[in-house]
């Protein structure tokens, strides 16, 4: 699927362009967009072990305007909501002046994780047979009885759409909304659909983003590190954006961070957990996104690829880019945030969209975001005079999401 988000030529800024006007973000490498950008440009070494990409020590409650909310949400949700609270400040929310029915929340969220709910796990442990009974480990009836001593809101703590719900309450956002549990592409899907709503006039403001909290347990770490997914470590993080038309954002005193020009998605339609090596579906998605933005490969000076922690996705992505830009006057710079920040899973792709214009303005990808594999494939770090960038993300089973982003 694909569509144009902003009108007119992608290289001319218009009042009705859909822009990212603010970002609220939390990562293990920085909190808030400016700190994250400073880190991205710095010479600081990236975290050296998987645990350092985690946010177990992050005090979400310090960011909450209503501390009571902490009792009702999981650690994972608290991370997402902290990013929304940071966004509220960055977006000058009290000055918004938009009716609640014209504000909508679009969230990319992790799926429910029953093992992260202590009430359930405590009841399970209490219900274990001392020894297997006919091969059965758990006394289910006893589990039921023991669970009834748990907190009444036990189920609610694990709802995948908690951040959508509580963010909507925080922001009084009563308009169209959604919540995606599409794993790696969830956050970009949320931004894409929020932007579509703004583009169509169905919303004045979309609060769109995603959050990921994967290091909640040692088991989660073992799952991915020992399973041989050795590309990039999984990282915890959250990033939410305000999406609105340029004119009202500027009128409110905001300086647009990026223009969203078009989006496209693709899928290999192959087997689960497998990725079609040629990357044709990704290539077609890139072509559709460029077409919808009214651009050609010559107009793209920067590509930010953000790939999930799977072997081969980076290679596939570079192979696709080599074909897309085969006849371009000059090859674009290619960078990869995952090298510096880890793979932010459901929050992946969002920081890239927000920071692509700054990288273009700086004229080169910061060293820490450069991709050695891309250099070897003939791409570069320098971004001379670029006005438009591609942000692309690939998922577990060969699905992909592509955004074309412009800078002022």
Partner 1 sequence: MTSTGMSKNNARRRVVVTGMGAVTPLGNSMAATWNGLLEGVSTARAIGRFDASGFPTKIGYEVRAYRFDRALAGHDATYLNEAGEFGVTAAHEALRQAGLDGGRTKVIPERVAVMVGNGMGSPGLEWYAQHYLDGKFDGETLRKHGRFMPEMLATVIARMAQAKGGMATVHTACASSGQALGEAYEAVRYGEADVVVTGGADSMINPFYVAGFSLLGALSKRNDDPRTASRPFDKDRDGFVLGEGACMLVFEELEHALARGAVPLAEIMGYGITESAYRITDLHPEGIGPIEAMQMAVEDAGIEATKIGYVNAHGTSTALNDRIEALAIAKVFAGGKTFVSSTKSMTGHMISAAGAIELGVCLKALEHQTLPPTVNVFEKDPECRVELTPAQPTAIKLDYALSNSVGFGGSNTALVAGRLK
Calpha distance 154→107 (Å, rounded): 22
Count residues binding partner 1 (CB under 8 A): 98
Rounded to 10 degrees, the C-alpha dihedral 360/362/368/369 comes to 0
Calpha distance 262→177 (Å, rounded): 20
Which tokens sit at 87?
A: 């966004």
Residue from the set 20, 31, 91, 109 that interacts with partner 1 by CB under 8 A: 109
- Note whether 317 binds partner 1 by CB under 8 A: no
- Note whether 285 binds partner 1 by CB under 8 A: yes
- Number of helices (H), then strands (E), in the chain: 14, 14
User: In angstroms, what is the minimal distance from the CB of 122 to partner 1?
Assistant: 11
Calpha distance 121→138 (Å, rounded): 12
- Note whether 82 binds partner 1 by CB under 8 A: no
- Note whether 309 binds partner 1 by CB under 8 A: no
Going residue by residue from 5 to 24, which x/- string records binding to partner 1, judged by CB under 8 A? --------------------
Residue from the set 44, 61, 133, 137 that interacts with partner 1 by CB under 8 A: 137
- Note whether 94 binds partner 1 by CB under 8 A: no
User: In angstroms, what is the minimal distance from the CB of 123 to partner 1?
Assistant: 7
- Note whether 125 binds partner 1 by CB under 8 A: yes
Give yes or no for a contact between 275 and 312, defined as CB atoms under 8 angstroms apart.
yes
Interface of this chain with partner 1, residues 155 to 214, rule: CB under 8 A: 155-156, 158-162, 164-166, 168-169, 171-183, 185, 189, 193, 196, 200-203
Q: What angle do the packed helices 33-41 and 350-362 form, to 10 degrees? A: 60
Residue indicated by tokens 């088991």:
219
Write down the H helix ranges in 176-245.
186-200, 218-225
- Note whether 102 binds partner 1 by CB under 8 A: yes
Structural element, H or E, at residue 77 = helix 75-90
- Note whether 327 binds partner 1 by CB under 8 A: no
| Share in percent of the chain as helix, strand, coil (round to 5) | 40, 20, 35
User: In angstroms, what is the minimal distance from the CB of 161 to partner 1?
Assistant: 4
Residue indicated by tokens 């992608």:
10
- Note whether 247 binds partner 1 by CB under 8 A: no
- Note whether 277 binds partner 1 by CB under 8 A: no
Instruction: Name which of 27 and 400 has its Cβ closer to partner 1.
Output: 400
Instruction: Name which of 48 and 140 has its Cβ closer to partner 1.
Output: 140
Instruction: Name which of 35 and 119 has its Cβ closer to partner 1.
Output: 119
- Note whether 131 binds partner 1 by CB under 8 A: no
Instruction: Name which of 45 and 136 has its Cβ closer to partner 1.
Output: 136
- Note whether 332 binds partner 1 by CB under 8 A: no
Using a 10 angstrom Cβ sphere, with 0-12 exposed, 13-18 middle and 19 or more buried, the burial of residue 203 is buried
């Amino acid at each position: 699927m694909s569509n144009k988000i902003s009108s007119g030529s992608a290289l001319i800024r218009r009042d009705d362009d859909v822009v990212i006007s603010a970002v609220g973000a939390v990562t293990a490498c920085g909190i808030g967009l400016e700190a994250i950008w400073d880190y991205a440009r710095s010479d600081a070494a990236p975290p050296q072990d998987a645990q350092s990409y985690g946010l177990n020590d992050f005090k979400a409650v310090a960011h909450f305007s209503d501390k009571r909310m902490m009792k009702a949400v999981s650690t994972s949700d608290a991370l997402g909501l902290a990013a929304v609270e940071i966004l509220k400040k960055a977006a000058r929310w009290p000055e918004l002046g938009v009716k609640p029915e014209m504000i909508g929340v679009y969230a990319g969220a992790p799926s429910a994780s029953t093992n992260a709910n202590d009430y359930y796990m405590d009841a399970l442990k209490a219900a274990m047979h001392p020894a297997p009974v006919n091969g059965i480990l758990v006394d289910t009836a006893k589990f039921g009885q023991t669970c009834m001593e748990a907190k009444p809101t036990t189920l609610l703590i694990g709802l995948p759409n908690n951040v959508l719900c509580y963010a909507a309450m925080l922001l009084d956002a009563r308009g169209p909304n959604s919540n995606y549990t599409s794993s790696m592409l969830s956050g970009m899907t949320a931004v894409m659909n929020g932007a579509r709503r703004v583009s169509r006039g169905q919303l004045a403001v979309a609060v769109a983003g995603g959050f990921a909290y994967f290091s909640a347990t040692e088991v989660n770490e073992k799952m991915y590190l020992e399973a041989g997914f050795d590309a990039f470590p999984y990282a915890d993080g959250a990033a939410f954006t305000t999406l609105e038309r340029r004119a009202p954002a500027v009128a409110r005193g905001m300086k647009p961070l990026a223009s969203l020009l078009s989006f496209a998605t693709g899928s290999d339609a192959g087997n689960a957990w497998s990725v079609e090596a040629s990357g044709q579906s990704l290539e077609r998605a890139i072509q559709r996104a460029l077409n919808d933005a009214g651009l050609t490969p010559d107009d793209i000076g920067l590509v930010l690829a953000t790939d999930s922690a799977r072997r081969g996705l980076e290679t596939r992505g570079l192979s696709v880019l080599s074909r897309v830009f085969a006849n371009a006057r000059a090859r674009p710079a290619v960078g990869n945030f995952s090298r510096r920040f880890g793979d932010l899973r459901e929050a992946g792709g969002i920081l890239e969209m927000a920071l692509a214009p700054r990288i273009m303005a700086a004229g080169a990808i910061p060293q820490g975001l450069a991709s050695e594999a891309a250099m070897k494939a003939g791409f570069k770090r320098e971004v001379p005079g670029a006005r438009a960038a591609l942000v692309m993300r690939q998922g577990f089973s060969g699905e992909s999401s592509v955004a074309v982003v412009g800078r002022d």
